Amino acid sequence: MYRLFYLLGICLVSITSIAQKPEENLAKLGIQLPAVSAPIANYVNVVRTGNLLFLAGKGPLQKDGTYITGKIPADVSIEKGYEAAKLVAIAHLAVLKKELGDLSKVKRVVKVLGMVNSASDFIDQPKVINGYSDLMVAVFGEKGKHARSAVGMYALPMNIAVEVEVIVEVEN
Amino acid sequence: MYRLFYLLGICLVSITSIAQKPEENLAKLGIQLPAVSAPIANYVNVVRTGNLLFLAGKGPLQKDGTYITGKIPADVSIEKGYEAAKLVAIAHLAVLKKELGDLSKVKRVVKVLGMVNSASDFIDQPKVINGYSDLMVAVFGEKGKHARSAVGMYALPMNIAVEVEVIVEVEN
Amino acid sequence: MYRLFYLLGICLVSITSIAQKPEENLAKLGIQLPAVSAPIANYVNVVRTGNLLFLAGKGPLQKDGTYITGKIPADVSIEKGYEAAKLVAIAHLAVLKKELGDLSKVKRVVKVLGMVNSASDFIDQPKVINGYSDLMVAVFGEKGKHARSAVGMYALPMNIAVEVEVIVEVEN
- Place C6 in a pLDDT band, splitting at 50, 70 and 90: low
Q: Where are the alpha helices (DSSP H) in C20-77?
A: 22-28
pLDDT at position B40 is: 77
- Using CB atoms, pick whichever of C41, C54, C115 lies closest to residue A151: C115
For B95-107, b/e burial (b = at least 16 CB within 10 A) is bbbebbeebebbb
The alpha-carbon gap from B147 to the nearest alpha carbon of chain A, in Å, equals: 5
Average pLDDT over residues B8-28: 69
What CATH number was assigned to the domain covering residues A22-170?
3.30.1330.40
Q: Position A115: which residue type? A: M
Who contacts A46 (Cβ-Cβ below 8 Å, separation ≥6)?
A53, A54, A55, A56, A95, A96, A99, B147
pLDDT at position A8 is: 52
The answer, yes or no, to whether residue C7 has pLDDT greater than 60, is no
Which pLDDT tens digit goes with each residue over C105-117?
999 999 999 999 9
Q: Do the Cβ atoms of A49 and B108 come within 8 Å?
A: yes
Q: Where are the beta strands (DSSP E) in C50-103?
A: 52-58
pLDDT at position C12 is: 47
pLDDT at position B15 is: 45
Whole-angstrom distance, CA of residue A111 vs CA of residue C40: 16
3-class DSSP state for residue C88? helix
**Chain C residues inside the 8 Å CB shell of A151:** 57, 115, 153, 155-157, 163
Average pLDDT, chain A: 91
pLDDT at position A2 is: 57
3-class DSSP state for residue B163? strand
pLDDT at position A40 is: 77
**Chain C residues inside the 8 Å CB shell of A108:** 47, 49
The alpha-carbon gap from B137 to the nearest alpha carbon of chain A, in Å, equals: 8
Q: What's chain C's length in residues?
A: 172
Q: Do the Cβ atoms of B123 and A159 come within 8 Å?
A: yes
In the predicted model, residues of chain A with pLDDT beneath 50 are: 11-17, 19
pLDDT at position A42 is: 84
pLDDT at position C13 is: 47
- CB pairs B-C closer than 8 Å: 93
- CB pairs A-B closer than 8 Å: 93
- Using CB atoms, pick whichever of B110, B137, B149 lies closest to residue A47: B110
Average pLDDT over residues B31-51: 92
Helix or strand run (H / E) with residue A92? helix A78-100
Residue of C40, C42, C95 to mutate, testing the A interface (most A Cβ within 10 Å of its Cβ): C42
The alpha-carbon gap from A144 to the nearest alpha carbon of chain B, in Å, equals: 21
- Place B16 in a pLDDT band, splitting at 50, 70 and 90: very low
- Using CB atoms, pick whichever of B111, B137, B169 lies closest to residue A42: B137
Whole-angstrom distance, CA of residue A125 vs CA of residue C56: 14
Strand C162-170's sheet: what is its strand order? Answer: C46-49, C52-58, C162-170, C106-117, C147-153
**Chain B residues inside the 8 Å CB shell of C151:** 57, 115, 153, 155-157, 163
Residue of B71, B108, B148, B172 to mutate, testing the A interface (most A Cβ within 10 Å of its Cβ): B148
pLDDT at position A6 is: 56
Bridge partner list, A153: A117
The alpha-carbon gap from A10 to the nearest alpha carbon of chain B, in Å, equals: 42
Is C23 within 8 Å of C105 (Cβ atoms)? no
- Using CB atoms, pick whichever of C127, C145, C154 lies closest to residue B43: C145
Whole-angstrom distance, CA of residue C55 vs CA of residue C164: 9
pLDDT at position C4 is: 54
ipTM: 0.89
Q: Which of B155, B6, B101 is nearest to C149 (CA)?
A: B155
Residue B19's Cβ-count burial label (10 Å; 0-12, 13-18, 19+) is exposed
Is C153 within 8 Å of A151 (Cβ atoms)? yes
Who contacts A70 (Cβ-Cβ below 8 Å, separation ≥6)?
A76, A117, A159, A161
- Using CB atoms, pick whichever of B43, B155, B159 lies closest to residue C147: B43
- Place B37 in a pLDDT band, splitting at 50, 70 and 90: confident
Query: What distances in angstroms separate CA A152 from CA A70, A161, A164, B37, one per listed residue?
Result: 13, 10, 12, 30
Distance between start and end Cα atoms, chain B = 44
Which pLDDT tens digit goes with each residue over B128-152?
999 999 999 999 999 999 999 999 9
Q: Which of A80, C111, C141 is nearest to B110 (CA)?
A: C111
The answer to whether the peptide bond before residue B73 is cis (omega within 30 degrees of 0) is yes
The alpha-carbon gap from A35 to the nearest alpha carbon of chain C, in Å, equals: 27
Residue of B36, B43, B115 to mutate, testing the C interface (most C Cβ within 10 Å of its Cβ): B43
Query: What CATH number matches the domain at C2-170, 3.30.1330.40, 3.40.50.12780, 1.10.287.470, 1.10.3720.10?
Result: 3.30.1330.40
Chains that touch B (3 or more CB pairs under 8 A): A, C
- Place B2 in a pLDDT band, splitting at 50, 70 and 90: low
Most confident of A10-19, B1-10, B23-32, C8-17: B23-32
Q: Do the Cβ atoms of C150 and B46 come within 8 Å?
A: no
Whole-angstrom distance, CA of residue B23 vs CA of residue C97: 44
**Chain C residues inside the 8 Å CB shell of A119:** 155
At CA B157, angle to CA A166 and CA C160, rounded to 5?
A: 60
pLDDT at position C41 is: 82
Chains that touch A (3 or more CB pairs under 8 A): B, C
Which residues in C have their CB inside 8 Å of a CB on B? 50-52, 108, 110-113, 116, 118-127, 129-130, 133-134, 137, 145-154, 167, 169
Whole-angstrom distance, CA of residue B83 vs CA of residue B101: 26
DSSP letters along B83-145, please?
A: HHHHHHHHHHHHHHHHHHSSGGGEEEEEEEEEEEEB-TT---HHHHHHHHHHHHHHHHGGGG-
pLDDT at position B52 is: 98
- Place C26 in a pLDDT band, splitting at 50, 70 and 90: very high
The rounded percent of chain B whose pLDDT value lies above 70 is 89
Q: Picking from A112-126, B27-41, B60-74, C135-149, which range would have the lowest pLDDT averaged per residue?
A: B27-41
Q: Picking from B16-30, C19-33, C47-61, C137-151, which range would have the lowest pLDDT averaged per residue?
A: B16-30
Q: Do the Cβ atoms of B157 and C125 come within 8 Å?
A: yes
3-class DSSP state for residue C40? coil
Whole-angstrom distance, CA of residue B161 vs CA of residue B156: 8
**Chain B residues inside the 8 Å CB shell of C169:** 49
**pLDDT top residue among A93 and C20:** A93
Closest Cα in chain A to C162: A151
Chains that touch C (3 or more CB pairs under 8 A): A, B
Average pLDDT over residues C101-127: 97
pLDDT at position B8 is: 53
**pLDDT top residue among C14 and C42:** C42
